[in-house]
Amino acid sequence: MSKPQFMECMQCGNKQEFKPLAPTICERCNSAWVEAHYDYNSFKRELLRGLPDRPFNIWRYYDVLPVEAPPEMNFEEAGGTPMRKSRRYAAQVGHENLYVKDERYGPTSSFKDRQAAVAVAAMAEAGINEAVIASTGNAAVAYAAACAQAGIKLWVFMTSMVPPEKLREVALFGAEVVKVTGTYDQTKLIAAEFATRRGLQLDRGAGHLPSRESMKTIAYEIVEQLDWRSPDWYIQAVSGGLGPLGVYHGFQELYDMGLIDKIPKLAVIQSAGCAPMVKAFKAGKSTADPVTPETRIAILSTGDPGDTYTYLWEIIQRHGGVMECVSDTEAFATMRALAKADGLAVEPATAVAFAGFEKLVKDGVIENSELVVVNCTGHTFPVEKHVLQDQWAVDLQLSEADKSASRQEGLQAALETLDEKATTVLVVDDNRDAAHLIRRLLEKKKKYRVFEAVDGRDGLEQAKARIPDMIILDLMMPEIDGFGVLEELKADPRTQNIPVIVVSAKDITEAEWQRLHGQIEGLYQKGSLPPMEFVDQVVEVIEQKVSKGDAE
């Protein structure tokens, strides 16, 4: 395999010698954006010949990777992932040209398998037998698996926010897991200090050349799979930003060799609960201020992207693109949509990318005619409780009395129980105590499944995702009040027939009543009657709806 001929700083143009496993720091200006340069003329000849006798995996492009994979190593399973055109899901979004780069087919179901393959091969080549990595999840699993193959002891530092299932998966491969109660950025600092004290190799992510270079193989595969065309957009959800930074470099190399006619526009998508890049981008800033992560998607919880944001910002300034964020709720709803429409079970981080795609299409940023590729990665099991909550299935258990009764009587009793357990109520109220009270009283009265939304926007998203049997809606909420929520519910064919009972803490004016008239099933003024009587009214409305549905 070919080592880089030299390294070049993208800030000041300084050229310097390639040093394996050294931080990618410019020796002149200290910039961390230093890129490797290879013998591209020889590689282009091989590409034009069709890369004969090379398997379709990450090592297909060994000419432009900074390692010489030892013959006893076996990382052939990394890379070489399929790309498929979305049909039903894309049609639902209103786009005709969406392709899914399906990284779930790697050894640990993540695009991080590419990073681990090249980085661990480089460590093995350098004689490293013990290393340290900090991770939010997927990289840890990929590195643990690759290090197990290479016989390298791996210390993995992970925040306690990472689901325990993923922590156990890392330990399964024999890695030493250190769980840190703190943010991911704090975890990275602790890992670096640990590596320094012990004199161990520390994987630096975007600042580590093998890690970054591995990602460009995604671009090479995409172009080959599109018959040597470049897409108009490449979309990926990010935490630290290593993925799109490396993928861009692959497109840049192909463009410089004259093999594609353009570099795709880049869409970087973040969770709204941890979106330092998006905030800086929308403010027109070339540097991002750190934030404290407030997202349930732990894998996207890098609060300080550092210089990586600046490099991505500069790429977008040159070649076009955007940075956008979506809520956790939007991502979880998109997970369900992908699974039901295209049979794709993806992790929440991937769903963030697809939810971002939906948003960009809706806002007209992405045109219908443009060819879009979305990076799809990961499995769902560590976070299903956040996606579907605890009541994702109906548990129907027959009592001893049901079992001893006649078959018809037992069936009828079971169906009555199922009717209750399958009934869903959505409480939309920014007062958590009031919402909890309604939920407790409803669940005490009936075996309903009751969900809570913390504000109007969350309520609309959940209503469209769950299509509940009843909505209890508070009128006085910030940003989008109850009137606004009601208007959007009635404007959407999917939610316009859901019965709504409005709750208000203040007297309703005549004008407000006119806005509500004919749109709701009832109005409850807080304090006007005991909560249990209000619950009785809710149950009566629900049962009337169920009876009406049975009659129809």
CATH number of the domain where residue 543 is located: 3.40.50.2300
- The 3-class SS string of 248-313 reads HHHHHHHHHCCCCCCCCEEEEEEECCCCHHHHHHHCCCCCCCCCCCCCCCHHHCCCCCCHHHHHHH
Do 360 and 427 lie in a common domain? no
Percent of the chain surpassing pLDDT 90: 44
pLDDT tier for residue 387 given thresholds of 50, 70 and 90: very low
pLDDT at 527: 65
Please answer whether residues 366 and 360 qualify as being in contact, where contact means their C-beta atoms are separated by less than 8 angstroms.
yes
**Residue 407 clears pLDDT 70, i.e. is over it:** no
The CATH number covering residue 239 comes to 3.40.50.1100
Residue 128 lies in a domain: no
**Residue 179 clears pLDDT 50, i.e. is over it:** yes
pLDDT tier for residue 290 given thresholds of 50, 70 and 90: very high
pLDDT at 431: 85
Where are the alpha helices (H) located in 40-181, listed in sequence order? 40-48, 88-93, 112-125, 138-150, 164-172
Average of pLDDT values for 267-283? 96
The secondary element (H helix, E strand) that includes residue 237 is: strand 233-237
Task: Collect contacts of 334-343 with beta carbons under 8 A, ≥24 apart.
Answer: 334/358, 335/380, 335/387, 336/387, 336/465, 337/89, 337/92, 338/89, 341/88, 341/89, 341/92, 342/86, 342/87, 342/88, 342/89, 342/100
Do 377 and 272 lie in a common domain? yes
Do 518 and 379 lie in a common domain? no
Do 477 and 545 lie in a common domain? yes
Distance CA 430, CA 458 (A): 10
The secondary element (H helix, E strand) that includes residue 323 is: strand 321-326
Residue 71 lies in a domain: no
pLDDT tens string 330-371: 999 999 999 999 999 898 889 999 999 999 999 999 999 999
pLDDT tier for residue 525 given thresholds of 50, 70 and 90: confident
Distance CA 204, CA 22 (A): 10
> What is the number of structural domains in the chain?
2
Please answer whether residues 66 and 213 qualify as being in contact, where contact means their C-beta atoms are separated by less than 8 angstroms.
yes
Please answer whether residues 288 and 279 qualify as being in contact, where contact means their C-beta atoms are separated by less than 8 angstroms.
yes
pLDDT tier for residue 443 given thresholds of 50, 70 and 90: confident
Q: Residue 224 contacts by C-beta under 8 Å, 6 or more apart in sequence? A: none
Do 311 and 430 lie in a common domain? no
**Of 343, 412, 379, 456, which is closest to residue 111 (Cα–Cα)?**
379
Lowest-confidence pick of 69-83, 92-106, 495-509: 69-83
pLDDT at 421: 57
pLDDT at 432: 85
Q: Residue 103 contacts by C-beta under 8 Å, 6 or more apart in sequence? A: 81, 109, 110, 111, 113, 218, 375, 376, 377, 378
**Residue 549 clears pLDDT 70, i.e. is over it:** no
Where are the alpha helices (H) located in 347-427, listed in sequence order? 348-362, 384-388, 400-404, 407-421
**Of 268, 203, 186, 185, which is closest to residue 233 (Cα–Cα)?**
268
**Residue 481 clears pLDDT 60, i.e. is over it:** yes
**Residue 74 clears pLDDT 50, i.e. is over it:** yes
Where are the alpha helices (H) located in 446-491, listed in sequence order? 456-466, 482-491
Structure letter (DSSP) for residue 174: T
Structure letter (DSSP) for residue 529: S
What is the widest separation between alpha-carbon atoms in the chain?
87
pLDDT tens string 206-230: 778 888 899 999 999 999 999 999 9
Lowest-confidence pick of 86-90, 363-367, 515-519, 546-550: 546-550
What is the spatial order of strands in the sheet that 6-9 belongs to? 15-16, 6-9, 34-37
Task: Name 98's bridge partners.
Answer: 372
Do 95 and 232 lie in a common domain? yes
Distance CA 65, CA 216 (A): 9
Residue 266 lies in a domain: yes
The secondary element (H helix, E strand) that includes residue 6 is: strand 6-9
Do 376 and 439 lie in a common domain? no
Do 294 and 346 lie in a common domain? yes
pLDDT tens string 10-19: 889 899 999 8
Do 370 and 438 lie in a common domain? no
Q: Residue 397 contacts by C-beta under 8 Å, 6 or more apart in sequence? A: none
Domain final position from 367, 387, 407:
387
Residue 129 lies in a domain: no
pLDDT tier for residue 401 given thresholds of 50, 70 and 90: very low
Percent of the chain surpassing pLDDT 70: 88
Residue 543 lies in a domain: yes
pLDDT tier for residue 520 given thresholds of 50, 70 and 90: confident
Please answer whether residues 230 and 253 qualify as being in contact, where contact means their C-beta atoms are separated by less than 8 angstroms.
no
**Residue 546 clears pLDDT 50, i.e. is over it:** yes
Distance CA 37, CA 410 (A): 74
Residue 132 lies in a domain: no
pLDDT at 37: 93
User: Would you call 376 helix, strand, or coil by DSSP?
Assistant: strand
Structure tokens at 481: 């009040």
**pTM for this predicted structure:** 0.73
Do 434 and 506 lie in a common domain? yes
Residue 201 lies in a domain: no
Residue 507 lies in a domain: yes
* Torsion sign (Cα): 339, 344, 347, 349: negative
Average of pLDDT values for 119-144? 90
Range of the domain at 532: 423-551
pLDDT at 404: 42
Do 380 and 231 lie in a common domain? yes
pLDDT tier for residue 531 given thresholds of 50, 70 and 90: confident
Residue 192 CA, chain-centre distance (Å), reads 26
* Torsion sign (Cα): 386, 391, 397, 399: positive
Do 350 and 431 lie in a common domain? no
**Residue 55 clears pLDDT 50, i.e. is over it:** yes
